[in-house]
Amino acid sequence: MENELKHELFNQFPKLKELANHDTVLWENTNWQKKAMTNLFSMEEVEKAEETLKRFSSYLKIAFPELLESNGLIESSIQDITLIKKALEKEFDVSIPGQFILKCDHALPISGSIKARGGIFEVLRHAEQLLMANGKLTKEDNFAVLATEDFHAFFQQYTIAVGSTGNLGLSIGIMGKKLGFNVVVHMSSDAKEWKKALLREKGATVIEYEADYSVAVEQGRREAEQDPMCHFIDDENSKDLFAGYAVAAKRLKIQFEKTNITVDEAHPLFVYLPCGVGGGPGGVAYGIREIFGEHAHIFFAEPAASPCMTIGLMTGLHDAISVEDIGLDNKTEADGLAVGRASKFVGKVMETYVSGCYTVKDEELFKSLALAMEVEDLFLEPSAHAGMFGPIQLMKKGQSYLEEHDLVDKMEQATHLVWATGGSMVPVEMREEYMAKVVQGARIND
C-alpha cells in the first residue's frame, strides 16, 4: 500500500492509529442497518445446506458413532456461564448486566471447532454433487450406503485441498478421509504441530509453509487449479462454507425457544464471535440477523495483532488492506485468528449486518483461559477466548453504541452469547503448555 494512501487513511479513521499501536479498540459500524441486506447471498442457500446435512445424517451416525445421540446432527449445546461472568467482572473491574451464555462450538462433534459446521458441510456438499453427477445416488436414497467400501473407492478418485491455520484443515481432513477422498492441507506457519500430526495420522497430506495463512491459501488454490479431479475449499471466497456456518442460527433459534431465552425489543441479544478470515463468524452472523432481526447485535472479536476484518470494514477496503499495511505483525497465540487480510466476500456481505468489531490482547486471552479453567474447569483454545471480551469491551467502550440503539435501560434483560469456537480436541500436553504461559505471563501480577 502506498504511503500517501496510508497517511490519508490514518487521518480519516482515527481508530486505525489506535489499532496500529496495538491498543484494544471497540469499533462501531456506522453502516449497520435494522433491516440488513445483501445481494451476494440468500437464506435459500442456508435452507439447502440444512437439507443436505439432513440427508447425510444417516451416514454420519454410522461414520461417527458420537453422533448417534443427536441422530446424525452436528450441533453444540448452549450453557450458562454466570461463574465466568463474575470472575471476569472482578478481574477486569467492570459490571456486566444481563445473562452470560456460552455457545459450545469448542465441543462440536467430529472436529471440536466451529469449522465442523462450514468445513464439514462443504465436503459433504461436494461429495453429494459428485455422487449425483455420476449417477451413484439420488437425493431420495438412504445415504447410509456411503459407509460401504464401494463408495469409499469412488471417492478415492478425487482430491480435496484446503489452506488453513489449523482447524479448517482438521475438519476437512477428518471428514474427507472418512469418506475416502485424498486430502491435501496447506498449513500456515501458525498451525499447531498436533493438528498436523493428527491429520497425517488420518491419512491426509500436510504441506507446511513458513509463511502466514494467506500464502498457504494462495498456494493451495494454485496447485488445485491444475488438477481437474481436485476441489479446492476456498476459505476466502466460499459460499458453501458460509452457508454451512449460517445453519447454526436456525438451530440456535430452537435452542433459545427450549430454554426460554427471549430476543425482542425489551430483551436484546449480543453475540460475540471470534474472527479470522471471516467465514465462520460471518456465516453465523448472517443467519442470526436474518432470523432474529434488529434485536441481535453482533460483534466480531480479533487479536490486537490481527484485526483484518476490523480494518477492512472500517475503511471499506476489505481485502485491499492488510494488518501489515498498518505496521502490525499478525503474530498471535490465537492461531485460529492469525489472518492478516480478511475475506472480501464476507466483508461485503457483513456491511449492514454487523454492529462492530473489537480487539483483544493475547495476555487477556490467557487471563480468560485461566479464569475459565479455575471457575468452570472449562478449557477453550486461546482464539475462542476472544469472545469472552465482548461484554467487557461493550460495557467499557460501547456506551455510545448502547445510547444510539436505545439499549441502556434494557441491559439487565440482555443476553450475551459468547461463541466458543474451539478447544475440545486440544491434547492434554498442549493445554498444560497454555496453562504454563498463564503462570509466566497473565497471572503473574496477582
Q: Which is nearer to ligand PLP, 278 or 391 (CB)?
A: 278
Residue 287 binds ligand PLP, judged by CB under 6 A: no
188 lies in the site for ligand PLP, by CB under 6 A:
no
Q: Does 76 bind ligand PLP (CB under 6 A)?
A: no
Residue with the closest Cβ to ligand PLP?
Answer: 276
* Amino acid type, 299: F
The site string for ligand PLP over 113-152 (x = CB under 6 A, - otherwise) reads xxx-------------------------------------
Shortest Å, Cβ 68 to ligand PLP: 26
- CB 422, min distance to ligand PLP, A: 3
For the chain, the straight-line distance linking the first and the last C-alpha, in angstroms and rounded, comes to: 43
Contact segment (CB under 6 A) with ligand PLP among 31-39, 150-158, 380-388, 432-440 equals 380-388
Three-state SS annotation for 33-51: CCCCCCCCCCHHHHHHHHH
112 binds ligand PLP (CB under 6 A): no
Contact between 336 and ligand PLP by CB under 6 A: the answer reads yes
Of the ranges 29-37, 126-134, 154-162, 277-285, which one interacts with ligand PLP (CB under 6 A)? 277-285
In this structure, are strands 99-104 and 159-164 parallel, antiparallel, or unpaired? unpaired
C-alpha–C-alpha distance, residues 331 and 236, integer Å? 20
**Residue closest to 301 by CA, chosen among 21, 24, 14, 13:** 24
Calculated CA dihedral for residues 314, 329, 446, 273, nearest 10 degrees: 40
Q: State which residue, 75 or 381, has the beta carbon closest to ligand PLP.
A: 381
The conformation of residue 98, written as its DSSP 8-state character, comes to: S
Does the footprint of ligand PLP cover residue 281 (CB under 6 A)? yes
What's CA 437's distance to the chain center, in Å?
24
* Residues 384, 74 contacting (CB under 8 angstroms): no
Least separation in angstroms between residue 349's CB and ligand PLP is 13
Instruction: Determine, following the binding rule CB under 6 A, whether residue 285 of this chain makes contact with ligand PLP.
Output: no
What's the CA angle centered on 438, arms 276 and 332, to 5 degrees?
25
Residue 42 to residue 50: CA distance in whole angstroms: 13
The footprint of ligand PLP on this chain (CB under 6 A) covers a number of residues equal to: 19
Does position 383 bind ligand PLP by CB under 6 A?
Answer: yes
- 3 state DSSP class of 298: strand
Task: Verify binding: residue 298, ligand PLP, rule CB under 6 A.
Answer: no
| Interface region with ligand PLP, contact rule CB under 6 A, candidates 132-140, 151-159, 275-283, 410-418 | 275-283
Least distance from ligand PLP to the Cβ atom of residue 446, Å: 27
How far apart CA 314 and CA 309 sit, in angstroms, is 8
